[in-house]
Amino acid sequence: MNKNYGLLGFCAGMVLILALLWLHTGTFAPPSGADSIWFNAGLFTLLLGRFVTEYRFTKPNDVLLNCVAVFVGVSSLTSPPHREWWEALRWGSFFLGAAAVGLSWDLGMEARREESRIRSLIYQTAVALGKADVIFSLVFILAIISYFDVDNLQTKVFVIAWGFILLAANLQLPTLARTIRKSRNYPDRKVLGVTHSFLAPSIVFCTRIGDTRTRLHQLVGFTQSGASPCHCMGIVIGERSSASETRIAIALIRSSVAEAQLNENSLMVTVSDDERQAVQPPIDDAEVATLAKVVGTVAKGSTISQVKFELFGSPNVKAGSMLRVGSGNSNVFYQVFDGRINEEIALTGGERAYVEGEAEQIGRWDQQRGGFDTHDWVARERAPVFLMDQDEPAPVYAPSVSEMFVGNVPNSNYKVVVDTHDLVLYHSAVLGVTGSGKSFLTYALIEQCAQQGIKTICVDPTGDYQRYLHDAVMVPTTGALRALLNSNAHSIGILETASSERNPIDQTLEVAQVCLEWCKAHRQDADVLNPRPKVLVVLEEAHLLVPEWNFNPTQNLRDNVNRTAQIVLQARKYGLGFLIVSQRTANVTKSVLNQCNTVVSFQAFDETGFDFLKNYMGSYHVTALPTLKARHGILVGKASRSRRPLMVHLNDQQRDVRAQPAPNMSIPANPAPLNADI
């Protein structure tokens, strides 16, 4: 009940108690003497506590005051009948009050949130026994037994009055009256609940009444009485349930709480089709569908880069799902990376479990850029959180010549764009376990570069590249490699390291040297200020080609890895880029990996590799890597058109295995350089 109804109940109860006084003593004056305890620490304090101080719920501070009143009242008795019972009540109230003091020491709320089950049990026991309904009723009943003739009619009247007070307090008669009051103008209307609290400017919580039921996304209305028309409408977006009550979350349509003038007396009712159409303009299905995407509200603990949100109901939210939160006149998008089940103790007792999600900011959509730009402020507290799904249209973006779509934000229509020029010039890495999808992404990037006239040389220890790259030729010698670089007919060359007896580390160094030499020879004046990508060297299974020093067997090979790293360091200004592909991040030399400005990381489990990746995307994204699904990766860096790390569902690809082995690159009859095996 609210405060006004509590005061009204107190006044009505006082009239009843005064009538009992007149019946018992013939006067309205408060009684004195031993038998007056039925009034002083019984019915009057019961009425005062239940309708004035505890009209909503009982706090530890209320328990302390109740126990003090009982202890003082019982202590004033001299040799009462049933003395042992009075002593038990007296000292029971003393120890119960002492427990309330301990709970009140940290304001009660913190005590209830303690992990200790013992402390939680003490809280529940103290509130259950120390509330006015219980402790003052014990005093009244014991006073009736001790000082009244239980067979007397007057005593029975006293007991009936006590029962009526408890009934009025606990049945919530005002709410019951509103529930059963129906209007002839709305014969089919049902009262579903009463307003409990307001979570956000447009989110309302209602307490369910009785055994009424609502369904998710049901249209409901709000009115001040069952006889009044609805002055605003909303849809059901979820529930909060505990052992004692169920609260229904409602998202208001075209209105805020203030505009609708909702208060704690407002009723939630069913809405007929005629009422829905009577609204101007009528509420259409698209409007309802938009609000149906509300899955929760921004919760405590959110930061600029991360939003925490409490979920309502059971929405289809999963890792990678895209969320939208309004901020001023724009929308800020977030991506779900984690979720957990929390538990809290309700103020009225009982525990409530709820799901809290955690999402990382991906930013505001920048149409000119074709990606997401960083938002510079925290989301508004309790702002509605909307789920973006495949029914939600995304802005149409036309990629430039150097850009390509590599996938989309999971479960949405937002495309993810990569600039291949930046991918080549600033070096890149594709990392992840076998079978996660890194090779097929690499094939797509290679073919896109070839379409833009960028020569691509694949150093491949696996033998898979020639099976899936249908336009590729083999470059087993330096002459073949140089012929490819000078060719107008071919753009993709493959060097299979297993076809030579030389160590793959030496072969990698020679490829890098030849490509750098060619890029230097073809450098133009315009390239000095604005380098253009000319050659991309792909290092498949890079942990075999440029391994970390502790995985390298001899000093000579270590020196060659360092020479390759030096070439990578100076390659950009000549238009030479490197793409590192590996399933063992920890085993690849950091002298090369640290120069990769774009990283796509698929599923991974290597803790040592995680330490490296934290420098690119932060620990929050790295913790999500072990649970990534196949063909899902986290993209971050210069080549991405989005400025923040982004989980991507990579494009599905259907690739046929090549029917015949790739041919060798033909060499001119009189090549200028020597033709030696690489």
The verdict on 91 and 33 lying in the same domain is yes
The verdict on 153 and 268 lying in the same domain is no
The verdict on 313 and 266 lying in the same domain is no
- Which pLDDT value is given to residue 1? 55
- Identify the domain containing residue 279 by its residue range: 176-291
What percentage of the chain exceeds 70 in pLDDT?
Answer: 90
Most confident of 197-206, 311-320, 626-635: 626-635
The verdict on 83 and 158 lying in the same domain is yes
Q: Summarize the confidence of residues 610-630 as an average pLDDT.
A: 89
Higher pLDDT, 41 or 640: 640
Q: Summarize the confidence of residues 482-501 as an average pLDDT.
A: 94
Give the tens place of pLDDT for each residue, 434-456: 999 999 999 999 999 999 999 99
- Domain stop point among 274, 291, 308: 291
Which CATH number goes with the domain that contains 60? Answer: 1.20.120
Whether 412 is in a domain gets the answer: no
187, 192, 196, 198 alpha-carbon torsion, rounded to 10°: -90
Q: Summarize the confidence of residues 336-363 as an average pLDDT.
A: 78
**Cα gap 215→206, rounded to integer Å:** 14
- Banded model confidence at residue 595, pLDDT cuts 50, 70, 90: very high
- Banded model confidence at residue 149, pLDDT cuts 50, 70, 90: confident
Give the tens place of pLDDT for each residue, 280-331: 788 888 888 888 899 988 998 999 999 999 888 778 899 999 999 988 788 9
- Domain stop point among 154, 171, 188: 171
**Cα gap 44→38, rounded to integer Å:** 8
Whether 209 is in a domain gets the answer: yes
Residue 373 token pair: 């730009």
The verdict on 24 and 149 lying in the same domain is yes
> Radius of gyration of the chain from Cα atoms?
38
Q: Summarize the confidence of residues 391-406 as an average pLDDT.
A: 93
Amino acid identity of 175? T
- Domain stop point among 276, 291, 306: 291
Give the tens place of pLDDT for each residue, 553-594: 789 999 999 999 999 999 999 999 999 999 999 999 999 999
Q: Peptide bond before 281: cis, by omega within 30 degrees of 0?
A: yes
Residue of 432, 389, 426, 430 lying closest to 408 (CA atoms): 389
Whether 666 is in a domain gets the answer: no
Q: How many domains does the chain have?
A: 4
Which CATH number goes with the domain that contains 285? Answer: 2.40.10.230
- Banded model confidence at residue 369, pLDDT cuts 50, 70, 90: very high
Q: How many CB atoms lie within 10 A of CB 21?
A: 17
The Cα-based distances of 239 to 210, 217, 275, 385 in angstroms read 15, 11, 25, 15
Whether 673 is in a domain gets the answer: no
- Banded model confidence at residue 466, pLDDT cuts 50, 70, 90: very high
The verdict on 462 and 333 lying in the same domain is no
Long-range contacts of 210-216 (CB under 8 A, 24+ apart): 210/179, 214/248, 216/313
- Which pLDDT value is given to residue 625? 93
Give the tens place of pLDDT for each residue, 641-660: 999 999 999 999 989 998 89
The verdict on 159 and 215 lying in the same domain is no
Amino acid identity of 487? S
Which CATH number goes with the domain that contains 538? Answer: 3.40.50.300
Q: Summarize the confidence of residues 272-284 as an average pLDDT.
A: 83
pLDDT at residue 212 above 80? yes
Give the tens place of pLDDT for each residue, 227-254: 778 888 999 988 877 666 788 999 999 8
Q: Summarize the confidence of residues 595-612 as an average pLDDT.
A: 91
The verdict on 132 and 151 lying in the same domain is yes
Three-class DSSP labels, 481-540: HHHHHHCCCCCEEEEEHHHCCCCHHHHHHHHHHHHHHHHHHCCCCHHHHCCCCCEEEEEC
The verdict on 160 and 199 lying in the same domain is no
The verdict on 222 and 282 lying in the same domain is yes
- Which pLDDT value is given to residue 169? 75
**Cα gap 112→94, rounded to integer Å:** 21
Whether 672 is in a domain gets the answer: no
Whether 417 is in a domain gets the answer: no
Residue 321 token pair: 């799902």
Give the tens place of pLDDT for each residue, 524-545: 999 999 999 999 999 999 999 9
- Which pLDDT value is given to residue 261? 85
Q: Summarize the confidence of residues 545-554 as an average pLDDT.
A: 87
Q: Summarize the confidence of residues 1-15 as an average pLDDT.
A: 75
- Banded model confidence at residue 673, pLDDT cuts 50, 70, 90: low
The verdict on 597 and 449 lying in the same domain is yes
Report residue 367 CA to chain centroid gap.
Answer: 26
Whether 669 is in a domain gets the answer: no
- Tell whether pTM > 0.75: no
pLDDT at residue 505 above 60? yes
Whether 677 is in a domain gets the answer: no
The verdict on 281 and 301 lying in the same domain is no
- Which pLDDT value is given to residue 107? 43
Three-class DSSP labels, 67-93: HHHHHHHHHCCCCCCCHHHHHHHHHHH
- Which pLDDT value is given to residue 132? 86
Mean residue pLDDT of the chain comes to 86
What percentage of the chain exceeds 90 in pLDDT?
Answer: 47
Amino acid identity of 76? S
